[in-house]
A and B are shown apart, each in its own frame.
Chain A
Amino acid sequence: MLSLGLLILNGDKKVIFKSSWLPWVLIAPQAFIILVFFFWPATQALVQSFQQSDVFGTKVEWNGLENFASLWRDDTYLASFKTTAIFSILVAGLGISLSLFLAFFADRITRGAWVYRTLLILPYAVAPVVAGVLWLFLFSPSVGLASYMLEKLGVQWNALLNSNHAMALIVIASVWKQISYNFLFFLAGFQSIPKSLIEAAAIDGASVWKRFWTIQLPLLTPTTFFLLVVNTVYAFFETFGIVDATTRGGPGKDTAILVYKVYFDGFKAMDLGGSAAQSVILMFIVISLTVIQFKYVERKVNY
């Protein structure tokens, strides 16, 4: 889970301890782990993306930007990009609108709110891969309740053959899992709007609907934007388990989102250079999203 936001880099403490060796000892564990398991591999990924090795990993040649170029020419990679884009737009869009809808209503009640909230946050505890399994079960061609009902409506469900069905399946499972998170943030957002603003709008003649559109929604813009970035990152990375449990990137490669492709190419197809190049591109995307979010939050309007 990407967590960024307002990181105040100023605001240093005035009272400081003096020691030449203690801080280093304290930092050591985290620094060591980060260096060995983070920076070193990240650098390696960078280096590898410029190299080409054979299946046995014995021969290594310098490839320059060739790996990237071939990715650019590779139809399956571009298709994967497109798939990921569509997927994340659907997941972010549906995830945000549905949770906004629920949060709006949850904000209106006082008694019994905790019951709804407790139940609505359950999907957060479910692992993506387990979520995938649950929805796989619901949509199982043979025994799934959902596929049963769809059949009654005249739709022949088959996620193994129909790309749209497969995409629908992973979108539904992903949105289901993310609703809790979005819901909690939207609810907090609604509750942070001062009651007097709503009262003033009501006195000015605005109905419930008008108040939502002209007052509440605009004031939720920071939250919405924040969730947009988080949901996009979620769709890009944390949905691996869902894809692996349900469609495995299929049918064919029609639901192979980028992170799935990185895994597949690196570990199943053993294309280390290509996989590394894909990793580097992914890193770049994440960093950009993070920077955008950080920059926006920094310029965040403080009412």
Chain B
Amino acid sequence: MIDRNRWLTFLTHLVLCIGVLVIVFPIYLAVVGATHSSQEMAQSPIPIWFGSEGLTNFKTILMGEGPGVTTQLPVSRMMWVSLITALCIAFGKITISLLSAFAIVYFQFPFRKTVFWGIFVTLMLPVEVRIVPTYKVIADFGMVNSFAGLTIPLIASATATFLFRQFFLTVPDELTEDVKMDGAKPMRFFWDVLLPLSKTSMAALFVIQFIYGWNQYLWPLLMSTEERMYPIVMGIRSMTAGADSQIQWNLVMSTAILALLPPALVVVLMQKWFIKGLVDTEK
């Protein structure tokens, strides 16, 4: 219990409070902006306390009607696209990674090392680096403007596979031996033993991949030329496309709130798994 210095404790809390304030302020401002009318948000300085137009604003953008909507598309549709994309990416990635990690760790087969390295290489190249040719492949498959096109190329990378691999390596051999002695098939082992043990890792990965999928921007930018396939992060961008004076900040802020709410909820509610997932994948 060293440094019982009162002043130091005060300073600590002061610094943290200021830090938190600065970090949270843009989000706070977004909430404020979402609760005012467009007139109120068009004068400087803007109000910094909540207004009463929140419900109206949200209705406007969700339904896609009312004054000043720059896209014809209701935000509700965009949120739907984002949700499907995020869930597909999260579940897709977890599923194929579980299977691959299982195969790599528990089976002996020719070219095992090659396969391992091949998967490893994908860690090094995020989608941003191969956008043009990957787009071409999708286009050739006719998958532009589809959920498949939005999700499948993004579940290729190997983060999850490695996390599961590392985890499987820590599972005691005795468990496998038990199952083998009972004469059970490998898939039985996978289903009855491995999966239940992996629940925490799956939860951790889910948080990270859901956020990753929900927040995808560059890829949908290329994939979705029709507005009906815009995720919400794209929609918000197109709302700010015009000149600064034309932007309906109250609606933009309402959309921003909707765009960040689901990932924020996932992060806050699943905080423990999230932090574990972050720290584990980087080990």
Contacts and interface: CB of A to CB of B under 8 A. Distances in A.
Query: Do A and B interact?
Result: yes
B115 A31 contact: yes
A127 interface: yes
Interface stretch (B57-65, B71-79, B195-203, B267-275): B267-275
Interface in B1-36: 2-3, 8-9, 11-13, 15-16, 19-20, 23-24, 26-27, 29-30, 33
A202 interface: yes
B20 A237 contact: no
B42 interface: yes
Nearest to A7: B162
B interface, size bucket = 35 or more
Interface string B146-189: 00000011011101011000101100010011001000001101
A126 B29 CA distance: 14
Interface in A114-137: 116-131, 133-137
B244 interface: yes
Given A23-B112, A45-B132, 9 more contacts: A18-B108, A22-B186, A38-B157, A133-B240, A202-B3, A241-B217, A283-B124, A283-B130, A286-B129
Interface of B: 2-3, 8-9, 11-13, 15-16, 19-20, 23-24, 26-27, 29-30, 33, 41-46, 48, 95-97, 99-100, 102-109, 112, 115-116, 118-120, 122-126, 128-134, 136-138, 152-153, 155-157, 159, 161-162, 166, 168-169, 173, 176-177, 180, 186-187, 189, 208, 211-212, 214-218, 221-222, 233-234, 236-237, 240, 244-245, 247, 249, 252-253, 256, 259-260, 263-264, 266-268, 271, 274-275, 278-279, 281-283
Interface of A: 1-9, 11-20, 22-24, 26-27, 29-31, 33-34, 36-42, 44-45, 48, 101-102, 105-106, 108-109, 116-131, 133-138, 140-145, 148, 160, 176, 179-181, 184-185, 188, 198-199, 202, 208, 226, 230, 233, 237-238, 240-241, 244-245, 259, 262-263, 266-267, 272, 275-276, 279, 282-283, 286-287, 290
29 contacts: A1-B212, A2-B124, A26-B99, A26-B100, A31-B100, A41-B137, A44-B137, A45-B130, A105-B16, A116-B19, A116-B20, A120-B20, A122-B24, A125-B267, A127-B263, A130-B260, A131-B26, A133-B240, A134-B26, A134-B30, A137-B252, A138-B26, A143-B44, A143-B45, A208-B8, A237-B126, A238-B128, A241-B233, A282-B128
